[in-house]
Structure 1
Amino acid sequence: MLSRVVTAGCLALRVGLGPVLAQSPAAQMTTLPLNDLSAFRSVSGKNWQVASDVTADATKKNALTAKKGTGVLVNLPNDRNKTNLQTTLEHGDIDLELDYMMAKESNSGIYLQGRYEIQLLDSWGVKGARIGDNGSIYQRWDESRPEGQKGYEGHAARQNASKAPGLWQHLRIWFQAPRFDGAGKKIENARVIRIELNGVTIHENVDLTGPTRGPLADNEVARGPLLIQGDHGPVAFRNIRYTAYDQPRPELTNLTYAVFPGQFTKEPEFGQTPPEAQGPITGLNTGGIRNTNNFLVRYTGTLDVKEAGEYTFSLNGAGGFTSLKINSKPVVAWGSLGRQSVAKVTLPAGQLPFELIYSKVASRASTALGLSIQGAGLREFFLGDKSLEGGGFSDRGPILVDAPANTILRSFMDVPNENGQGRRTRVTHAISVGSPEQLHYTYDLDNGALVQVWRGQFLDATPMWNSRGDGSSRPTGMVQRFGVPRMMLGKLASAQASWAKDTVNSGFRPKGYSLDESKRPTFMYSVLGTEVQDVIRILDNGQGVRRELTVAKPANDLYAFLADGKSIEALPNGTYLVDGKSYYIQLTETGGAKPVVRSAGGRQELIIPVRGNKLSYSILF
C-alpha cells in the first residue's frame, strides 16, 4: 500500500507494500459474568474481588479504592495476597475486548492461553513505547542466555496510546492459537492478528514463537485459560467480552487449474475448447498465469468441510467476473464486473466438490483473486492473492501529515454525536494544531470550542487531498473527543438555565489567531459584548492540555461551559472525572468562582461563573 507523508515544509513519500488485515463482521460476543468470582478457577488469595466501581488516586502510587457491588473485577494485592487469576474458560482462537483501569505506577498483564502476555502498565506520559510499556507484547525469557540477553522477542506497541491512571482504557485483541498436527507437533505459531488500545492499532500480524516470561506453563497448547497477573499492582476490569472460534476450518485439497484464453463475459460451457495451461496447484492464486488480461481460469478440487453448518463466502476477482460452486451447487452466481460477491450456504460435513471461475476482462485492473470463508465459531480466513486480502488493493494509501514542529492545518472535521448514533456533525471551520510532543488538538472557530485532543500521530488528510477530496481530515492517534461543539461562554439567568445551542443572538464573531515565537496560536473572538483570548498549551510529558481564557469586562451572568458527559464526579483539589472516567478536568484559576455540576437531557454538565478576567483549567487524559 502506498502512503504519502506530509511534513512541515516538504512532501515525503512513505511506501509500503503489504496486505490489509481482513476484518470479520461483528460476531456475537459472550460477556464474562462479574457478579462474583465463579467465572474463575478457585481463588486461593484474597487480592481478587468484585465491586460496583473503582477510583484511583492519580497522585498516589498503587492507590485504588473499590466500591461494594458487582460488575467490576478488582485486584488489590499485598505482601500476603498476590495470586494470579485464571478463567474457567479455555480458549483457542479468540477475539477479546475489555475495559481496564490502572492505579498510578501499577503493573499487570493478561496472558492469552495463560502463556502470551499483553502488558498492562501505567505508561502515562511515556514518549514512544518500550517492550515493558502498556499494550506491548512482553518478551520471552531464557536464564541460560548471557546477562543482558535473557529477554528476547518482545514486541513494543507501535505507539503509546495509554490514558492516565484512574481512567478507563479499552483493549481489543484478535488472537490465533498455535496449530498442531495429529501427533501433537506444532505446525504453526500462535499469532496476534491485531491489538487496539483506546482505538489505536498497536500490533498487527505478530508471530509468537513461544510463551513469554512468567507463563502458566512453558509448553504450548491448542486451548488454555486467560490468566490475569495479580502479583504486581492494583488493577480493575469491566465489560470483559469475547468470541471464541472453535469450529475447524474447511480445507481446500486436490486443487487443479485450467486457463482458457479469450474474453469471457458469460459463463462458458467447458469441454469444447482445450485449455492453454493446466495442472495441479498448491493454493488458490493467479501467480502462474502468463496473460494479464482476457483469460478465464477454472479451479477445481475438494472442499473438506469438517463440521456441518452455515458458512459465508466472499468472492472477488479484480477486473473480471467470478462464480463459485460447492457440492455441485451454485453458491456465488456469475457476478457483476469486478464486484465482491457475498453468499451464505448451509454445507454438510464431508469431501465436497469445489469449482471457482475467474474471468479477467478489464486491462486497467491487476490480476488478483480472493476468497474468504467464515461461519458460526469460525473466524473469517482468506484464500487467494494477498493483494485482495482485506477486500481490495489500492495504490493510493493514506496521506499522513506529521508535526515535527508546531503545525497548523485547517480543514473540515467530523465528530460523533453524544450518543454515537446517526450522522456525524461536520465542523466546517476547524483548525488542528500539532506539536512535536505528539499531543494535538482541534479548535472550532465557529464556536470558540475545543473539539478534541489526541496523543500519537497528527492527521490523516486523505479525505481532503486524495483525488477531489471532501475537505476533511481526521486524527490518527488516541483521541479524546468532547462531543458536538458549543459556545465556550454564555449568559445564564441562573446556574440551572439551559445552555444555548448555537451562537444566534450572542454577537459571536471570530477574529482569527495570533502566533507566538514558537508558532503556537492564541485564538481571539468577541461574544456577548466582551473580547476573549483563548490559549491552549501542551502540558509537560504530553499528559494533557492547559487552557486559559482572558475575558475583558465579563458580565455578572457570564458562565463558561467546561464539559458534559454521562457522569461527572467531583474529586479533591478542584479536579473532576468526566464522562464515566474518560478524562480529568483540573481547575487551576477561577477567580474564586465555584463550579456547578448539573443535569441536562439525561447527561451531566460542568459549568462555572466567570469571575475576574482569567479562567484556566487543564484537561488530563
Structure 2
Amino acid sequence: MVRLKFSVNKLLVTGLFWACGAGLALAQSAGESYALPLKDLSSFQNPGKSWQIAGGVTAELDKANRLNTVEGNGVLVNDPGRRKKGTDLYTNFEHGDMDMELDFMMAKGANSGIYLQGRYEVQLNDSWGTKTATSGDNGGIYERWDESRPNGQKGFQGYAPRQNVSRAPGLWQHLKVSFQAPRFDASGKKIENAKILRAELNGVVIHENVELFGPTRGAMGNNEVPTGPLRFQGDHGAVAFKDIKITEYGKPRPELVDLKYQVYKGKYEVEPLYDSIPPEAEGTSVALTSTISPFPNDFLIRYRGTLRVKEPGEYTFNLNAGGGGGMMKINNKVVIPIGDRNLRGTVNLPAGDMPFELIYSKIVEWGRPSIGIAVVGPGIREYVMGEPVAGGGNNNSQGPILVDAPVNTILRSFMDLPIENEEGRRGVRVVHAVNVGSPEQVHYTYDMDRGNMVQVWRGGFLDATPMWYSRGDGSSRPVGAVQHFGQPAFTLAKLSSPQAAWVADTAGSGYRPEGYDVDKNDQPTFSYKLYGANVQDAIRVLEGGKGIRRELTVQNPGENLYARLAEGNTIEAVSRDMYTVDGKSYYIKVDDAGGAKPVVRDAGGKKELIVPVRGKVSYSIIF
C-alpha cells in the first residue's frame, strides 16, 4: 500500500505548477529530427530550371523580384523572373505530423508559399510595411476556394497572422510551424481535420490551434491523405530558403483501454484502505476525467486499466491534478510519486499491454478539479490523455495587459533584455528605459543611462502585465518581433585611435542625461551631455513603417569623437552607404555623416560600424 501523505500546502503548489506549465511543451518532445541537405537538389523531385543551390543570396530594396546569388551550397533559391517560368518544388519524402523550422528571404514584391503535405499553404509574401495583414500576407494560412460560391465569397476559411512582423526584402526571416496531419479510420474515412497547432514568424506566435477543414487554393489535390510531400511554391516570385529542419512524429501513441473507476467521498490526505470502505460511485470510462465524481469537493478517484504501448522507448508523463494531487503507476511501479511539486515521471516502456493505475485526490476547496496526463515519447508529439489543461487547475495568473500605440505613445518601465550580461548569464535589465510606440507598428526602447537605443521591434507595442498586475516588478516587454542591439552601450565615445576598444562605462565621459522634449506629434528628442558637448538625439519612424531614422546633433564635438552605428557578428557592405548586420538581420543606411567615412572594424571577435562625428550624424535602421 502506497501512502499518499498529501498536505494542503503541497497540493496548492502542485495545482499551480500544472496550470502554469500549460502549453505545447509541458515535456520535451521526442520526434525524429533531421536537416534537409542543400548541397544539391537531390532532396527534391524533378526540380525545375528556376531552382538552384547557392552559397549566399542578396536582394535589393528597390529592385522587384530579383535575387543575386554567389556560388556554393547551403541555400535553396528560386528565381523565376530570369528564366521566364518557375515551377513548384516537391520533396522526395512525405510527412504526416511534423514540425518545420527554416529561414527564408523574399525579394521585393515577391510571393511564394509552403504547402504542408502539398495541400495546406502557409503564405510567404513581401508584406514589409503592411499595417493590416490578410490571409494572403506573410505568414497567413491561405484561403480555400470554391468556384460554385457567389462572387466575393469564392475564397473562404483563410486566416491572417495575428500581427504583421515581416522583415524587409533581402533580410532572413525565421518560420516555425507545428502541423498535425488529418486522421483517418480503418476504412479511409477522415475522422479529424488537419491542424496548424502553432506557427511562429520571426519569434512571434502568429497562429495557434487553427483547424484546416480542407486543402487551400492551389493544392496539389483536393483529396486529403495521411502523408504528403513538402511543397515550395516556385511560380510566383523570387525566394530563398536555408537551414530547413524537419521533426517528424509518425509513431503510434499509447492508449488507455478498459478503464474502470471508483469514487470515494472525503478529504483523503493518505491513500485509503479500499477494502474497508465502499465506493460512492464506480463504473467504466473511455477517458480520464474528474466529472465522474458526484461531489464538487473532497473526493478521491481511483482509475485502473491497461496502458497499450505500441512503440517501445522512453516516455515522460506530466500529471494534471487540478485542485488536488495524485499518483500514477505503470506495470505496478510508481512512475509519478505522491506529494511531489513537479508531478512528472520518466520511464522506459516495452511494447505491449501493462497495468495502469492513477489516483486523484481533490482536497483544495477553491481549486477547479481536473485530471489529465501530458505524454511524450519516441517519435510522438506531446498530447494529453484526459481533460485539457488550459483553463483548469488552480491557475490564478492574470494577463496579458496589453498597451497599444494607436498614436505616438511613450511608456517608461524597466526593460529586461534576453541577452548575455557581462558575467555570461542571460538577462540584462535596463532600469531607465523609455519605450516609444507608433501607429506605424514600429517601436523602440531608449536607454536613458547610456543615451542609446537597445532594441527596435515591429508589431504590437507592449505587454505591461509584469509591470501592472498585482504588485508588479516594474517591467514591460515587447509584443512584436524584436531586433536587439547587444549589450547596452553608449552611441558616442572618444577613442584614442580608430582601433581603440569602445568605451564600456561613463568614467571620464562626463555623461549626464537631460531628459527629452516632445514635439507636436508626441515624438521625443533625447538630450544629454557627453565630453563637454551637448547632444540632441532625434529618433523618428520612417514613412510606411519601414524602420527607424536617427539624427544625432552634437554641439562642439571635439576631437576623436566617434559614433557606433552597429555591432554584430557580421557587418557587410551592400552599397556605398548601406550595410547588413548580423547575418542579414537588419540594414543600416548611413544618410549623412557630414562627409566622414564609416568604417567596419574588428572588435573583440565581432564587427563594429563606426564613423567620426563632425557635428551631425544621421542613419536609418531598416528591418
Q: Distance in 2 between matches of 1:115 and 1:58?
A: 32
Give the stretch that moved more between structures: 78-87 or 587-596.
78-87
Distance (Å, rounded) in 1 between the aligned partners of 2:84 and 2:407: 50
CA root-mean-square deviation: 2.0
Rounded Cα–Cα distance in structure 1 between residues aligned with 2:210 and 2:417: 32
User: What CA deviation, in whole Å up to 9, does each residue of 1:142-175 have, x standing for no partner?
Assistant: 2222322221111111110100000000000000
Establish whether residue 371 from structure 1 lines up as the match of residue 373 from structure 2: yes
Secondary structure of the residue aligned to 1:29 is: strand
Equivalenced residue count is 601
1:365-423 Cα offsets, whole Å, 9 max, x none, are 22122211111100000123324589973451222222222221111111133699632
Are 2:367 and 2:394, in contact at CA under 8 Å, matched by a contact in 1? no
CA 1:141–1:476: 2 relative to 1, 3 Å:
same
Inter-partner Cα distance in structure 2 for 1:90 and 1:22: 24
Quick one: which of 112, 123, 131 aligns to 1:127? 131
Aligned twin of 2:532: 529
Query: For residue 448 of structure 1, what is the amino acid of its counterpart?
Result: G
Shift of residue 239 of structure 1? 0.7
Any idea what SS the aligned residue of 1:431 has?
A: strand
Q: How far 1:277 sits from its partner (Å)?
A: 1.7
The AA in structure 1 aligned to 2:323 is G
Conserved 8 A contact 2:369-2:392: no
Aligned to 1:237: 241
In structure 2, how many angstroms separate the alpha carbons of the residues matched to 1:167 and 1:143?
37
Q: CA deviation at 1:495?
A: 1.4
CA distance in 1, matches of 2:392, 2:363: 23
CA distance in 1, matches of 2:454, 2:318: 39
1:191 corresponds to 2:195: yes
Deviation at 1:94, TM superposition (A): 0.5
Q: Say which is worse superposed, 386-395 or 293-302, in terms of deviation.
A: 386-395
Q: Which residue of 2 aligns with 1:3?
A: none
Partner of 1:456: 459
Cα distance in 1 for residues equivalent to 2:301 and 2:432: 52
Give me the whole-angstrom Cα distance separating, in 2, the residues matched to 1:80 and 1:515: 52
Q: How does 1:254-269 map to 2 (within 5 A)?
A: 254-269=258-273
Is residue 577 from structure 1 mapped to residue 580 from structure 2 by the alignment?
Answer: yes
Question: 1:216-256 CA distances to partner (integer Å, 9 max, x unpaired)?
Answer: 22211111110000111111111111110011111222323
Query: Cα 1:524–1:164, aligned 2, differ >3 Å: closer, same or farther?
Result: same
**Conservation of the 8 A alpha-carbon contact between 2:29 and 2:382:** no
Letter in 2 for 1:617: Y
Deviation at 1:185, TM superposition (A): 0.7
Q: Tell me the secondary structure at the aligned position of residue 271 of structure 1.
A: helix
Q: Which amino acid aligns with 1:535?
A: A
Whole-angstrom distance in 2 between the partners of 1:403 and 1:80: 44
Aligned equivalent of 1:10: none
State the alpha-carbon separation in 2 of the partners of residues 387 and 292 from structure 1. 18
Partner SS for 1:541 = helix
2:411 to 406, 409, 412: 409
**Structure 2 SS opposite 1:218:** coil
Verify: 1:100 aligned to 2:116, yes or no.
no
SS in 2 for 1:463: helix
CA distance in 1, matches of 2:359, 2:295: 16
Of 566, 571, 580, the match for 2:569 = 566
Contact conserved, 1:22 with 1:391, CA < 8 A, in 2? no
Instruction: Report the equivalent of 2:360.
Output: 358
CA drift of 1:361 comes to 1.6
- 2:506 matched to 1:539? no
Specify the alignment match of 1:317 in structure 2: 321
Residues 457 and 480, structure 2, Cα contact 8 Å, conserved in 1: yes
- Counterpart of 2:155 in structure 1 is 151
Identify the match of residue 386 of structure 1 among 382, 388, 406.
Answer: 388
Aligned to 1:85: 89
Q: Deviations over 1:98-142 (max 9, x none)?
A: 000000000110000111000000000000211110000001112
Superposed displacement of residue 573, structure 1: 4.3
- Report deviation, 1:577: 0.6
Partner of 1:179: 183
Identify unmatched segments of 5+ residues in structure 2: 1-18
Report the alpha carbon displacement of residue 279 of structure 1 after superposing the two structures with TM: 2.1
TM-score, with length taken from structure 1: 0.93
2:471 corresponds to which residue?
468
> One-letter code of the match for 1:301?
G
More moved, 31-40 vs 261-270: 261-270
Partners of 2:414 and 2:474 within 8 A in 1: yes
Instruction: Note if contact 1:20-1:390 (Cα within 8 Å) is conserved in structure 2.
Output: no
Which of 73-82 and 46-55 deviates more? 73-82
Structure 1 residues 522 and 482, CA gap change in structure 2 (3 angstroms): same
Tell me: CA distance 1:252–1:409, structure 2 relative to 1, closer, same or farther (3 Å): same
Q: 1:499 aligns with which of 494, 497, 502?
A: 502
CA apart distance, 1:320: 1.9
| Residue 597 (str. 1) matches residue 608 (str. 2) | no
Give the CA deviation at 1:18: 13
What percentage of residue pairs aligned between the two structures are identical?
A: 58
Relative to the length of structure 2, the TM-score reads 0.93
2-side partners of 1:92 and 1:419: how far apart?
42
CA–CA distance in structure 1, aligned partners of residues 583 and 537 of structure 2: 27
1:47 aligns with 2:35: no
After TM superposition, give the deviation of residue 20 of structure 1 in Å: 5.3
Alignment match of 2:351 (pick from 349, 352, 355)? 349
Once the two structures are TM-superposed, the CA of residue 258 in structure 1 deviates from its matched residue by: 1.7
AA of the residue aligned to 2:45: R
SS where residue 417 of structure 1 aligns? strand
Judge which range, 32-41 or 417-426, deviates more.
417-426
Tell whether the 8 Å contact from 2:368 to 2:394 is kept in structure 1 after alignment: no
Q: Secondary structure at the match of 2:466?
A: helix
SS in 2 for 1:237: strand
Q: Which residue of 2 aligns with 1:12?
A: none
Structure 1 distance, partners of 2:294, 2:40, is 63
Opposite residue 120 of structure 1, the aligned amino acid is L
**Residue of structure 2 equivalent to 1:170:** 174
In structure 1, what is the Cα distance between the partners aligned to 2:388 and 2:146? 36
Deviations 1:552-589 (Å, cap 9, x if unpaired)? 01112111010011111112241111111000111111
Contact 1:140–1:153 (CA<8 Å) still a contact in 2?
Answer: yes
Paired with 1:278 and 1:495, the residues of 2 have a C-alpha distance of 81
Distance in 1 separating the partners of 2:596 and 2:398? 53
1:610 and 2:613 correspond: yes
1:13 aligns with none
Which residue identity lines up with residue 448 of structure 2 in the other structure?
L
CA contact (8 A) 1:22 1:389 kept: no
Letter in structure 1 aligned against 2:477: R
Distance 1:572 1:418 in 2: 32
Distance 2:180 2:196 in 1: 6
Q: What one-letter code is carried by the residue in structure 2 that aligns with 1:405?
A: V
The letter for the 2-side match of 1:451 is V
Displacement of 1:440 after TM fit?
1.0
Matched, 1:513 2:508: no
Paired residue secondary structure (1:335): coil
**Is residue 287 of structure 1 aligned with residue 296 of structure 2?**
no
Instruction: State how far apart, in whole Å, the 2-side matches of 1:278 and 1:128 are.
Output: 55
Q: Give the stretch that moved more between structures: 301-310 or 128-137.
A: 301-310
Secondary structure (helix, strand or coil) at the match of 1:499 reads coil
Counterparts in 2 of 1:31 and 1:207: CA distance versus 1, 3 Å: same
Say if 1:414 and 1:391 are closer, same or farther in 2 by CA, change over 3 A: farther
Distance 2:481 2:595 in 1: 34
> In structure 2, do the counterparts of structure 1 residues 80 and 576 end up closer, same or farther at CA, with 3 Å as the change threshold?
closer
Residue type at the aligned position of 1:437:
E
* Gap runs ≥5 in structure 1: 1-16
